[in-house]
């Protein structure tokens, strides 16, 4: 019998939920989203969780085996308490996300729902190693470059959570000038930098359009992001001895050659032959990866 899990993914701009089968397939019609954002509060998050969880569970087939809920969140997180301290949602610090999802799901299905909570980067890494681009890797890192930058490690098939659940929080490593990687290379940060160089656009989508049309500043912003991501990945590959790195997230698609640019920067920056051999690939799961990974927290 097919088993199903509720998957919830919470990020800096939106939260999503879906029902996912034990084959890693999202159930048609079960996916929905609700906005989060810097102004998100515990009250607004409570309402959003209730809405998307109820929508997802409405698609649970009659008599199906429902194994529980997997929750991935932007961090930092406290895995033990199920609370979040998200960089991009300051008013939601301390929000009990795992309990909110458990309570919403339990109220919908009529019994206590087993809930597993983790960092969204770790969930993505688990999904990629299960069904995505890093299935053949022994030691892999999967990252998202989007509104934020985050990632997670899988070693020999095992998700590495770390002491508090935050292993792989690559976006908060410091780069030159004391800024974090996220403050330099994310979509919003790249657009903001381009504006300081005289560019008149506003978003990552604008950067993609203008760079494709030949705007040199927009192109420079994209190259700057890829260069910084590649250098940070070179450090990660040197530290953890990675053989493969998968990159997803909306800003990673800002140009057709973004992944190639990251690979070039990693190869140029890595300190040793073994770290220079780390291969950078595009995420194999697209925008479904974070939800598949959240489900994998409980399915696998």
Q: Choose the CATH number for 135-284 among 3.40.50.300, 3.90.650.10, 3.10.129.10, 3.30.420.40.
A: 3.30.420.40
pLDDT at residue 68 in the model: 98
CA angle 15, 21, 27 (to 5 degrees): 60
Do the domains 3-122+288-299 and 135-284 sit in the same CATH topology, yes or no? yes
The one-digit pLDDT tens for each residue of the chain (300 residues) are: 899 999 999 988 899 999 999 999 999 999 999 999 889 999 999 999 999 999 999 999 998 999 999 999 988 999 999 999 988 899 999 999 999 999 999 999 999 999 999 999 899 999 999 999 999 999 999 999 988 898 999 999 888 999 999 999 899 999 988 999 999 999 999 999 999 999 999 999 999 999 999 999 999 999 999 999 999 999 999 999 999 999 998 999 999 999 999 999 999 999 999 999 999 999 999 889 999 999 999 998
Q: What is the dihedral sign for C-alpha 117, 120, 121, 125?
A: positive
pLDDT at residue 12 in the model: 82
pLDDT at residue 82 in the model: 96
Give dist(CA 217, CA 292) in Å, integer: 36
**Three-class SS of residue 130?**
helix
pLDDT at residue 240 in the model: 95
pLDDT at residue 6 in the model: 98
Using alpha carbons, select from 76, 78, 89 the residue that is nearest to residue 15.
Answer: 89
Q: What are the domain boundaries of the chain?
A: 3-122+288-299, 135-284
- Identify whether the C-beta of residue 226 lies closer than 8 Å to the C-beta of residue 204: no
CATH homologous superfamily, domain 3-122+288-299: ATPase, nucleotide binding domain (3.30.420.40)
Give dist(CA 121, CA 73) in Å, integer: 8
């Amino acid at each position: 019998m097919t088993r199903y899990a509720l998957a919830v993914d919470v990020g800096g701009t939106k939260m999503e939920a879906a029902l996912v089968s034990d084959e890693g397939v999202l159930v048609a019609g079960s996916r929905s989203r609700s906005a989060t954002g810097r102004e998100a509060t515990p009250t607004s998050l409570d309402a959003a969780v209730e809405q998307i969880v109820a929508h997802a569970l409405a698609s649970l087939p009659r008599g199906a085996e429902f194994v529980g809920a997997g929750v991935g969140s932007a961090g930092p997180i406290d895995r033990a308490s199920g609370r979040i301290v998200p960089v991009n949602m300051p008013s939601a610090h301390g929000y009990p996300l795992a309990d909110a999802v458990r309570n919403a799901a339990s109220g919908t299905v009529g019994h206590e729902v087993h809930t597993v909570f983790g960092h969204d980067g770790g969930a993505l890494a688990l999904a990629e190693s299960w069904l995505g681009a890093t299935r053949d890797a022994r030691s892999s890192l999967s990252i998202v470059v989007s509104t934020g930058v985050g990632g997670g490690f899988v070693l020999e098939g095992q998700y590495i959570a770390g002491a508090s659940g935050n292993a792989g929080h690559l976006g908060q490593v410091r780069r030159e000038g004391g800024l974090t990687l996220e403050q330099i290379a994310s979509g919003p940060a790249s657009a903001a930098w381009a504006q300081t160089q005289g560019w008149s656009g506003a978003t990552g989508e604008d950067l993609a359009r203008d760079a494709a049309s030949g705007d040199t500043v927009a192109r420079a912003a994209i190259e700057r992001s890829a260069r910084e991501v590649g250098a940070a990945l070179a450090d990660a590959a040197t530290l953890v001895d990675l053989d493969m790195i998968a990159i997803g997230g909306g800003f990673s698609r800002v140009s057709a050659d973004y992944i190639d640019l990251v690979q070039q920067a990693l190869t140029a920056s890595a300190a040793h032959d073994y770290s220079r051999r780390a291969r950078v690939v595009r995420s194999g799961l697209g925008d479904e990866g974070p939800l598949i990974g959240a489900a994998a927290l409980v399915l696998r």
